[in-house]
Structure 1
């Protein structure tokens, strides 16, 4: 069993498979009305969410607010939590939070996204490992600063760019009355077949967009770290993110110019090191890059000598 976060308030949560059992119960109710009486089974299925915790000893608890996904606790843990907390008050807190979230989504200060499975784990969104959730990107004071409140990462970021190719599937269907070409052909010959067919049938093309991966290139607000964050998205989601969050190179340059010289040196050093480490240039060109940093006073002579030895395998 898992532990409850002492800093969070919880409400009882109905997991997805409980809903599936209830849906089967509703189907049985219809069958009982029109086909065969299955009332005992119907009642058992419809009431399943209420007695399941008593049978299994498992209680599903959902935290209120920007916290990870639900946790599963034992009967004793639930009794202890219920003794120290008012679940009715927690339900009212959840209603207030849901209303504020709905308003934030409406005015565009929060976006809901679904990370890819690998990034869901990498960013520590949820210890239970359920990536089929919509998680929030929070926009702060319309200043292009975004955070991931449900992630273990406490950093704030700027969105520099998004790489995205929409996944559009095209399907074709022939609609119209069947047999019209056959009748036209019988009456007027081959030409009638063509006329009859084209006059009664038409081909309809339908385009459907499915989720595709959007790669968000993020820069921390101190400009010292870069991250790539992959999410499942559609074109509309990407357009909203780009319109609300993306910052320009001019914005980042102005931010950099407003920093102290020490911070500028640190960022420049990290950027060059990252580019050199991932590039395919030869050792001489890499050494020249580090020599440029030395000449600018960004790295010391000892640091330059160390890098030079590493590149020359000395």
Structure 2
């Protein structure tokens, strides 16, 4: 038995691995388990990860995915669930993440390693046109102290979560040098605005009240309407989105 054996048993699912097997800490993984792990962004270290550990991770991920009810999605970058009150961020370079709305502490737009706009300044940026320039591009150097660049190498959204072990989640929108007047950059800018706006909306809500305590909630409908009106005025919510949320509250 060994690397070239056809009779090895997968340490994760128990099936025969066949020839195209992959090493793990306590034996080998079959191609199906290895592929499933890669598709879910689960990191497999052949020296530290056992088949049993991978099996638990896969079951945990599948359970979360089954419970996650997508209500909105921005490309393949991020999905939102207003039913489970969480976001799902796929990331092929690391483990995919499920993040509760209430666990999102902060988020920011980063261009070439420099923060362009943060959660606190998003409303003003969108309303004032700071997030986008005349050609529909993300403006570098909001303060105006730096000269405007004609190209950009990376555009990311950084989400800070209430997870002490792994607090940072990156959403990469662009990772190659691109001209700011190009269609690729403009699409990245549009995607960035949509993601940031949705993050602003979901983090503006109060999730401290448990479902069974809804009837005892201290926040009134009037307070919620005021919040929604503020988001509308700041340009974060469209009129259609505002009307939809308003109708839900009043009903």
TM-score range, shorter chain: 0.3 to 0.5
Larger Rg: 1
Return the structure number with greater helix share.
Answer: 1
**What TM-score, normalized to structure 1?**
0.27
**What TM-score, normalized to structure 2?**
0.32
